[in-house]
Chain A
Amino acid sequence: MAERLSNREGIKGMANPTRYGIERVAYWLQRLTGLGLLAYLIGHIYETSTIVNGKIAWDKMLELTQTPQGHILLTLVIGMCVFHTANGIRVMLGHGGIGVGKPGQPEYPYKAASLNYKQRLCIWVSIALAALAMMYGASVLFGD
Chain B
Amino acid sequence: MAVVETSKPSEELKSNTKTTGQTNTITLRIARSNPSEGQESTFAEFQIPVQKWTTVLEAILYVKQNFDHSVAVRYSCRQASCGSCGMKINGKPALACYTKVSELNSNVITVEPMNNFPIIRDLAVDFKQLISNHKKMKPFIIREDSEVTPESKEFIQTPQDLEKFLQFSYCIKCGLCNSACPTMATDESFIGPQGLAQAYRYVADNRDKGKDERLKVIDDSHGIWRCHFAGSCSHVCPKGVDPAMAIQLLRGYLLGFRK
Contacts and interface: CB of A to CB of B under 8 A. Distances in A.
Interface string A102-144: 0111111011111100010000000000000000000000000
B150 to A, nearest CB: 33
**Contact residues on A (Cβ < 8 Å of other chain), bracket:** 35 or more
Contacts of B114: 7
A89 interface: no
Contacts, number: 144
A112 B165 contact: no
A9 B185 contact: yes
Nearest to A26: B230
Given A23-B232, A96-B251, A114-B245, A106 B170 contact: yes
Contacts of B228: 27, 30, 91
Given A97-B258, A104-B163, A106-B167, A20 B238 contact: no
B117 A10 contact: no
A106 B235 contact: no
A13 B244 contact: no
A24 B185 CA distance: 14
A52 interface: no
B97 interface: no
B49 interface: no
A112 B237 CA distance: 8
Given A7-B114, A9-B185, 20 more contacts: A8-B185, A9-B186, A20-B92, A21-B232, A23-B231, A94-B248, A96-B248, A96-B255, A97-B257, A97-B258, A103-B163, A103-B165, A103-B168, A104-B167, A110-B239, A110-B240, A112-B240, A114-B242, A115-B231, A119-B231
Interface of A: 4-11, 13-14, 19-21, 23-24, 26-27, 30, 91, 94-97, 100-101, 103-108, 110-115, 119
22 contacts: A5-B118, A7-B114, A8-B116, A8-B184, A11-B185, A13-B182, A21-B235, A23-B229, A23-B232, A24-B182, A24-B235, A27-B232, A95-B229, A96-B251, A96-B255, A96-B257, A103-B249, A104-B167, A111-B240, A112-B240, A114-B242, A115-B234
